[in-house]
Amino acid sequence: MTSPTIGVFALQGDVREHVQALEALGVRAVTVRREEELDRVDGLVIPGGESTTMIKLADVFGVADAFRRRIADGLPVFGTCAGMIMLADRLVDGAEGQTTFGGLDVTVRRNAFGRQVDSFEADVDFTTFDGPVHAVFIRAPWVEEAGPGVEVLAAVPVGPGAAAGTTDRAADRIVAVRQGSVLATSFHPEVGDDLRLHRLFLDLVTT
């Protein structure tokens, strides 16, 4: 198969970092701001940023419905941090009237881990990888509820102050999920040089 072209939602957010991560894996990465650019990609990354600004700009530029339509039609999508919020079918603590692109059967709590000053890093175990992923959480959301078709890939103890030896795993918060060709994380995998999540997304694009 020809190497795919991956678009990165570029109206707001950590665009450059995702483009660099994708290019490091040898694929063509392009920025997407208009519907005609969206029509030319085989997969889409929605980066971290500010979800309320993202949806407002998508509405202003007249592309929100195009994103919703392509995602509903099965376009592979990878959402990180704010991108997870943008893909959620349901929101908790969203801004008044805040909408999303949808496509992921989850309920996501916006800014669930706290404010900017509550940002933290953690080594997160994944069901799909042999070793943990070093994750950077910045005003991060979490998944409050996942539908029956959603695979939970990773969860962490509640709050950045939770001890490594926490035994109440029922209280863990979901921070990475996959549903079909849609992948989402609460954190920023584009920070650092661990490309496993981007590679996992490319596998969803090409299979």
Q: Cite the active site residues.
A: 81, 188, 190
How far apart CA 167 and CA 193 sit, in angstroms, is 30
Q: Where would I find the H helices in 25-166?
A: 35-38, 51-60, 64-72, 82-87
How far apart CA 49 and CA 125 sit, in angstroms, is 24
How far apart CA 113 and CA 110 sit, in angstroms, is 9
How far apart CA 10 and CA 112 sit, in angstroms, is 24
Contact 7, 45 (CB under 8 A): yes
Q: Where would I find the H helices in the chain?
A: 15-24, 35-38, 51-60, 64-72, 82-87, 196-206
